[in-house]
Amino acid sequence: MRVRLLALLLLSATAAAGAEELPLLVTVGEVTASRAILWVRSSDGAKVTVSWKRAAGGPQESRDLALSWGADRTGKLALSGLEPATRYRYRVERKNTRVDGEFVTAPAPGTPISVRFAWSADLGSHGKCRLTNGGYPIFRALAQYPVDFFLFLGDTIYADHVCAGPGFVPGSGFVAWTLPQFHAKHRYNRADPGVQDYFRRTPVYAIWDDHEVRNDFAGTVDPLMPVGLRAFLDYFPIEPPPGDADRLYRSFRWGDLVEVFILDTRQYRSANSQPDGPGKTMLGAAQKRWLVDGVGGSTATWKFVISSVSLSVPKGEPRDSWSNASSKGVPQEGSTGFAVERDHILRELRDRKVTNLVFLAADVHHAELIRHQPAPEWSFHELIAGPLSASPGRPRPLDQALNPRSIWALGGADNFGEVAVSTSSLTVRIIDADGRVRYSHTMGPEP
């Protein structure tokens, strides 16, 4: 067994070492009304120079950024003192290499400016990694629909999948076990030209799901969780708060109309195999209280909660999503979901009279728009999109405990969702990898 494991590690290390190298990789993200985070990787680890200014003109600022070899020659720079609702252009330079990009800052709180954003997940599973002829095609479709920001809802890599063979760009033909191998998986996806073009010009807010470590993992019991978390933080422009270096859950405001609450559904979760009940948690006590207080106290018109796993689609055995319903959607006593915690959160939000609540989810590899009405006087929506490039899924019966109504569903196609919010309405569209709008639905805000 030891010889076999050593052989596998040596094989995967060789595959990782053969991954494509580009001089500069750049991603912009975590944009607020006054700052943005710029993430950079240089293939030789040399420091880079970053300059930025308003697109409309004005003074330019410039800083040097030292990169970390321990973080796979990556680094992050906070661009601060920015003006709200303003487009900025930036440039990253290293020796004779230069990369340009841009982004728009959020409106100031209290400003009712329309916003448009996209969301999806699941990039590069077995048999669906980068094509030698075209890479990840869906990012060309994403580029056809300019948005203010992109929400990446997990499975940003498939660390536990081998993806190799004719027709695929080499560099993902291994299962990740070590930090360099997890880095290589992230680098493989980030180096795709379509991904790079999009992430340089569209602010990204990313959260992980299971395949950043391995299928259906629970962080409290999985020994690989710390290394997967380290690689994820090394490769996305996320800055955890001081004193909590591993924290991924966070929120941001986009003017008066939208507030987004991003959940970490992996790091604090109980083992999936544990029977559902009051002692089982997906979020942990601190994150759960943060969510209820944040959403319950939000003054934004629309409150979006980002859950990498679905509230209502049963998945896996033991259950990996919130639902503990059967494959026919019937709630089951003693099942292994997380429905007790889910329903407690929903009751608290209902008791606080939260309106215009929308959960965005992914993970199930199909798109679906759902209206839940767990109580006669209270309802909310769950919008599901994906995959970006992964094995196709299909719609299935929804958890009857939420009294769901499926408005529309799509299986068997790579896709992303787009949300446009104005003072009078919210419109959601599901768009496929060819750039075709497959469905559009508009709803108005409750008073």
Residue 130 pLDDT > 80: yes
Mean pLDDT of all residues in 304-319: 96
pLDDT, average across residues 132-142: 97
Q: Which of 18-22, 150-154, 391-395 has the lowest mean pLDDT?
A: 18-22
pLDDT of residue 11: 42
Task: Report how far residue 109's alpha carbon sits from residue 395's, in angstroms, rounded to the nearest whole number.
Answer: 38
- The pLDDT assigned to 109 comes to 87
Opening angle at CA 277, ends 273 and 278, nearest 5: 130
Helix (H, G, I), strand (E, B) or coil at 18: coil
* In the predicted structure, residue 15 carries a pLDDT above the cut 70: no
- Degrees, nearest 5: CA angle 168-40-389: 30
Q: Domain residues of the chain, as ranges? A: 107-443
- Mean pLDDT (the chain) is 95
> Distance (Å, rounded) from C-alpha 260 to C-alpha 263?
10
Q: What value does the mean pLDDT take over residues 362-381?
A: 98
Share of the chain above pLDDT 70, in %: 96
Q: If you average pLDDT over residues 149-165, what whole number do you get?
A: 98
Q: Which CATH number fits domain 107-443: 3.40.1010.10, 3.40.50.300, 3.60.21.70, 3.40.50.1000?
A: 3.60.21.70
Tens-place pLDDT, residues 407-427:
999 999 999 999 999 999 999
Task: Determine the Cα–Cα distance for residues 236 and 240; give it in Å rounded to an integer.
Answer: 11
Query: For position 447, what pLDDT does the model report?
Result: 82
Does 14 have pLDDT greater than 70? no
